[in-house]
Amino acid sequence: MLTVRVPPGSPEAQYRRAGLLIVMICLLLTTAATLLLSGPLQVGRTDQLLLGLMLLKNAAFIAWLWRVPGQFQLVGALELTGEVLAGLYRMHDVLLVDHTAHGLSGYSYWLALPYLVASLTLPAGAALAAVTPYLLGLGGLGVAYWLAPGVPDALRDDNANAWLQMLLMHTTFMAVITLQQQLRRRYAHAVALAERKSAQALLDPLTGLPGRRALHDLLDSAPDGLSVVYFDLDHFKRVNDTYGHDVGDDVLRHVARAARASVRAGDRVGRWGGEEFLILVRGDAAVAARVAGRLRAHLHAHPHPVAGPVTLSCGVAQRHPGEDISHTLRRADQALYAAKRAGRDTVELAAPPGAA
């Protein structure tokens, strides 16, 4: 079965996987209901066994989709292959073996399901390519049924209109699904573009770090125990006055790269404004002070190629239980100025809340 890779984790992939999961759950419920009613519906033992196998298959596919979302296309391709083969076999059996079709049998209602599964599993062109042989196969069975010498004329005439209407309905399904696929792709592209623009709006355009708006969002959801490293560049005005603003901007980018290299996974670093930056650290003040020290050491070991060594003054504050995050930030700011007064190129820990 033809497959075309859909980018994992994209809005389109999430949509397709969720749709396929819903289809599989509906099939599971339908199969279970049919199996429970097999007595009143006079379902034969062979069909009951097949229903039981379908029930297990549907349950397995649901578990697969749930546990490994990235493999939804593989699950869909397997389901689509099974439905196409089962549909063609069933209609061959009804039309060319039993010759007992009336209205093409109750199974004909399920023959349109492969189009839905294909539309959820594959992009538009690939879905169309996958189901076209299926439609041609159904049409071929209809022609063979019409030409079969063993079919009574009355039965052939009785089913001719039903077969034609079914083929027209399937063709309509293919056209609608193809159009719907195109519209869905445009919608997914628009959503991804909007998300990308929204993310870019929260980034500082110079350094690529989260900007002040993004940092405010992170601070608003900050838990107790989070620590803040508030730092700025020492004598940054002198860099701009001596080397110009282009070099000054490159120094800011240099510091941003050093900060990314120095923080741990799960910590966040952003540009607060001007030459001021924030690091949000998962841990107490001592952990945050070590992160700040690691950043200072990195800058000492990697001077800027034009401006030379870059030093920082850092203020560290840990958020205490019940403390408003703005108060934590204010204490970090006070510690930053204490580091300036202490001679710069150092780290100062903030006094606890309420301390004189």
Edge-to-edge strands, sheet with 268-273: 268-273, 276-282, 226-233, 312-318, 346-349
Its pTM surpasses 0.75: no
* CB 114 within 8 Å of CB 83: yes
Nearest to 284 by CA among 318, 316, 315: 318
Token look-up 């870019």 returns: 200
Q: Which two tokens stand for residue 82?
A: 């099974």
pLDDT of the residue at 347 = 94
Whole-number pLDDT of residue 38: 77
CATH topology of domain 212-349: Alpha-Beta Plaits (3.30.70)
The tokens of 211 are what?
Answer: 């900007």
What pLDDT shows up at residue 280? 94
pLDDT value of position 356? 46
Dist. CA 326–CA 218, nearest whole Å: 12
Output the CA angle 82-83-89, nearest 5 degrees. Answer: 90
Q: Which residues pair with 298 in a beta bridge?
A: none
Task: Give me the phi and psi of 202, to 5 degrees please.
Answer: -90, -5
Torsion region of 104: left, alpha or beta (phi above 0 gives left; psi -120 to 50 gives alpha):
left
What pLDDT is stored for residue 113 in this prediction?
Answer: 87
Q: Which residue has the tokens 């001007």?
A: 274
Q: How far apart are CA 186 and CA 193, in angstroms?
A: 10
Contact call for residues 131 and 152 (beta carbons, < 8 A): no
Torsion of Cα atoms, 281 then 284 then 290 then 294, to 10°: 0
Distance of CA 44 to the CA centre of its chain: 44
How many residues can be counted in the chain? 356
Residue positions annotated with a catalytic role: 275
Q: Where do the domains of the chain lie?
A: 11-200, 212-349
Predicted local confidence at residue 217, as pLDDT: 84
- Round to whole Å and give the CA distance between 24 and 14: 15
pLDDT at position 265 is 87
Helix (H, G, I), strand (E, B) or coil at 257: helix
Give the span between the Cα atoms of 95 and 143, in whole angstroms. Answer: 10
Q: Which residues of the chain have pLDDT under 70?
A: 1-7, 41, 98-107, 188, 194-201, 354-356
CA proximity to 64, closest of 28, 88, 36: 28
What integer pLDDT is reported at residue 130 of this predicted model? Answer: 87
**How far apart are alpha carbons 270 and 267 in whole angstroms?**
10
Closest CA to 3 of 81, 62, 67, 63: 81
